[in-house]
Amino acid sequence: MSNETTEDNVVTSTQAKILKSLETRPWLWRSMLYLALLIIATVVFATIRFPSGELTPIVNHAMRQAPVHLETKTAELSFPPGLILRDVSVALIQHPQDTIATASTVKVKPYFLAALMGGLKAGIKAQTLDGVVEALVEAENRGGGDSELSLMFRGINPGKAQWWESFPWFKVEGKLGGEGELEVKRADVKKAQGWLKAQTRQARLAIGEKLNPDGGVIDVSMGELEFKLEKGKLTVVKGSAAGPHFSATISGGITLANNLNNSILNLIITLSLAEPAKKALGTAALFLPQPGSNGKTIIRIGGTIKSPAIR
């Protein structure tokens, strides 16, 4: 009898220690809860798939918090725990009906440790514009709306984006790679800061009907562009491009507006053009400023992104 009493006391003492430990360490409760959810999710994923028709509206509602308009046609759960989004469209918030880019597949992998600490963190891999974009997104989960983004991209063809449909001046096609970082304060683009670098070794400039009704192409054998974003202004830190029949540098910047179409341009392009490049520009070449004594032509671009003014 005494042995049974002793064993009961030991069990009771152990239970008391566990309860006291949980009370003094609230994070332990959350860890155990997430562990239990992970075990349950494992069993669920092994036996049944969450109906895509039920999940897709939930995901689309959650994506309305993003600084751009995002929408997916299909959302599926994946294992390890995450999401697979298919046929994702991207548009400006002010014009959600005008898609500017699409992604065939977007894989989202949440970081559960960040959730335990009261934040949001996820890795994203998207198949878009014939290439791949990988990003790491971190955001506050306390209503502040601050977020950070680190990204890397390769094999991106900007010519596949839908935004060129409303931009009749020219189109850039080719393969781009690069990286960047962005920090957004309370979803306000004018309070964002960051940088972006992009390079290409294979591209071309397709001249639009506004510049040459007959069309034309200028081949680009190398190009690099580096931006810095600070205090609502996108500044060109480094910008150059060259091909068999031209060379160019770009400087200046863009003062951003919350409606990006209304952002103000203040760019300077310095050009050296050979005859084949002038022919590709068509009649537009006749309106270029006369080259200086060094043989270079300086073009100033003002106005807005929607309605640029070239002088």
**Residue 133 DSSP one-character state:** E
Higher pLDDT, 26 or 279: 279
pLDDT given for residue 265 in this prediction: 93
pLDDT given for residue 41 in this prediction: 58
Q: What is the pLDDT of residues 260-276, one digit of tens each?
A: 778 899 999 999 999 99
Mean pLDDT confidence for 139-166 = 78
Q: What is the pLDDT of residues 83-116, one digit of tens each?
A: 888 888 887 766 777 777 888 998 888 776 655 5
Higher pLDDT, 187 or 250: 250
Q: What is the pTM of this model?
A: 0.67
Strand 82-91 with 99-110, pairing: antiparallel
DSSP string, 170-193: EEEEEEEEEEEEEEEETTEEEEEE
Residues 6+ apart with CB under 8 A from 165: none
pLDDT given for residue 58 in this prediction: 58
pLDDT given for residue 28 in this prediction: 52
138 falls in which pLDDT band (50, 70, 90)? confident
The answer to whether 248 and 241 have CB atoms below 8 angstroms apart is yes
